Amino acid sequence: MIPFNKPVHLGTEIKAMAEAIERNGHVAGGGPFGKRSEGQLEKMLGQRTLLVTSATHALEMAALLLDLQPGDEFIVPSFTFVSTANAFCLRGAKPVFADVDAHGNLDVDDVARLLGPRTKAIVPVHYAGNSCDMQALQQVCGKVPVVEDAAQALGSTFDGRPLGTFGACGAFSFHETKNIGCGEGGALTLRDASLIDRAEYLRDKGTNRRKFQDGIVDKYTWVDVGSSYVLSDLNAAYLSTQLDEFTRIQARRKALYERYLAELSAPVERAGAYIIQGSARCVGNHHLFAIVFNVPEQRSRFIAHMREHKIVTPFHYIALHQSPMGKGFHDGRSLPHSERLTTNLVRFPLFFNMTDAECDTVIARTREFLDGI
């Protein structure tokens, strides 16, 4: 079986976790590996970065930091994971679903049409490690804050600037399906320096514990609302080893992605399908390789064909405006690109430890199917 994904395995993760237990004696949040990983991320991103338990929780913290309230609205692409909407719905805000472009990223023109007096946040999702035109989005948004769902986008840039650093806040994921991970984990980036202190309070159960640890106050106490969002040092130890090897991990993913692209571009085009790709201004991180078929029936047959050959090729999201929960918020208008990606997109196996032989097998079986369309 060739799976869709395997978590990155370097062979050094267990040693780092043992060090956290045996040498540091600190496995809860806020330990040496957590601080080290935050430093590594801040060097990459150029912004204050807090390690948290998931990208979902990073988005929940962003909703709290921006003080979204019942009656407020936020604009979010319909083609995304449920966490992007849930984080703000938990505050009582209403999602306003925007369409995406043909490659899964937020349609900026649709955002311009949907902006209203109740809009308190815009939440672009950097699908496949690519993005919409972030400069145009910022111009459209004006003073309405942007929160970037950059769960898939660590290592990607737009106009040479790291994704996740354009908005007031950005959320990254270190789930095992991402380019690097620690099982479950995430990070919150903060471009708006005025949000940093409060973000630290929220992460540490509403206390000023971080200031106590840094010797700024002589005791810590309850100063705000909050929850337990901090990542354990065991997870941070695991993550730190992959941050150390991020360049090597990315190089391998790029090699696999480019192998797919070179071998499949022509047969995909002949079959009337297309490959998900970013714009020329976006340098992606090769998070996923996906194609979009011309009709849903072709995708169903392709998935079955690959399964027969023991290759897992899943589709992705069901557009939120078509979901049982999302229908209750939506005005009923069609979002054609979101709907097409829901029914026609399929993803390919792509992971750091994938072998060349596995990649060649996926390519051969894909060409076999495409040549028969």
Give whole-number Cα distances, 28 to 23, 184, 200, 236, in Å. Answer: 14, 15, 16, 10
The span from the CA of 198 to the CA of 226, in Å, is 9
pLDDT of residue 167: 97
- What whole-number distance in Å separates Cα of residue 13 and Cα of residue 18? 9
Mean pLDDT over 76-105 rounds to 98
Q: Tell me the pLDDT band of 48, cut-offs 50, 70 and 90.
A: very high
pLDDT of res. 278: 97
pLDDT at residue 212, rounded to an integer: 86
pLDDT one-digit tens code per residue, 91-116: 999 999 999 999 999 999 999 999 99
Provide the pLDDT for residue 342. Answer: 98
Residue 173: CA count within 13 A, CB half-sphere: 25
The residue ranking higher by pLDDT, 161 or 218, is 161
Look at the pTM and tell me if it is higher than 0.85.
Answer: yes
Average confidence (pLDDT) over 126-142: 98
- Do the Cβ atoms of 156 and 285 come closer than 8 Å? yes
For the stretch 25-45, pLDDT in tens is 999 999 999 999 999 999 999
CATH code 3.40.640.10 region(s) in the chain? 13-245
Distance of alpha carbon 253 from alpha carbon 286, whole angstroms:
6
The Cα 6–Cα 8 span in angstroms is: 6
Q: Supply 131's token pair.
A: 């993005």
CATH superfamily label, 247-370: Aspartate Aminotransferase, domain 1 (3.90.1150.10)
State the pLDDT at residue 285: 98
| Stretch(es) of the chain classified as CATH 3.90.1150.10 | 247-370
217-264 pLDDT, tens per residue? Answer: 888 999 999 999 999 999 999 999 999 999 999 999 999 999 999 999
Q: Which CATH number fits domain 13-245: 2.60.200.20, 3.40.640.10, 2.60.40.420, 3.40.1800.10?
A: 3.40.640.10
Residues 104/79, Cβ–Cβ less than 8 Å = yes
